Amino acid sequence: MGGGADVGRGGAGGGSEAVGGSGDRRGAAGVGRGDDRQGVGGRGAGIAGRGVECEAHVDAGVRRVWELVTDIELSVRFSEELRRVRWLGGASSPALGARFEGYNHNPMLGDWRTVSHVVDLSAPHTFAWAVVDPDGRFGDTAPDPTAPAATWRFTLTPDGDGTLVRYAVRFGSARSGLTLAVERFPDRAEAIVAGRLDALRASMARTLDGIKAIAEGPTVVAGPA
């Protein structure tokens, strides 16, 4: 599912998805809210705290949508970075403190791994996970889910006969591929962050469109063997 704050094309899994810019934009997946612009520079390169939220109305019940947003493998279908995911430590479904890892690829960054920690869970309404760099790929020597590279969140709210799905990411203080890019090209820092956020907005919208299509599609009922 959602990953760090890495630079490059958006991904729904171990990479990152978000959107930047000011003002609202409306697309197939609904509204994407821009980040709070704080300027880039200094410790953390002005990245921490920035992020985006997208939303979509889905013509399906909350519990049906919950099944989809808590399936960590679903995002692999819509991500340009995430290649595969798996639960760790014997977990097989979301629970507070449960962990899952994502394997990612980006043409600019190559391959890397993330570990996500479930930090908020209230079925069938809220699912959030914090992403860390367990291998120090981007220079984080002490990965800590309380100070992650990013925190991702799905929030589901009944909306008439359907469900309002909010999908959000907020960058944290840990180092990431985005940090490396900003440090390498400090004179282009704001453009780099804005570009990453725009790519993430598009990727998040793709994921929401995919969830909507699956949830609103025909339900397959297995017949007798």
Tell me the two tokens of residue 19.
């959107």
Sequential pLDDT tens for the chain (225 residues): 655 555 433 343 444 333 233 333 333 455 556 554 444 443 344 799 999 999 999 999 999 999 999 999 998 999 888 999 999 999 999 999 999 999 999 887 789 999 999 999 999 999 999 999 999 988 888 899 999 999 999 999 999 999 999 999 999 999 998 999 999 999 999 999 999 899 889 999 999 999 999 999 986 555 555
Q: What is the DSSP string of 68-88?
A: HHT-TTGGGGT-SSEEEEEEE
What are the residue ranges spanned by the domains of the chain? Answer: 24-138+149-198+209-216
199: region left, alpha or beta (phi > 0 left; psi from -120 to 50 alpha): alpha
- The secondary structure of residue 46, as a DSSP letter, is G
How many C-beta atoms surround the C-beta of residue 79 within 10 A? 27
Domain 24-138+149-198+209-216: state its class.
alpha beta
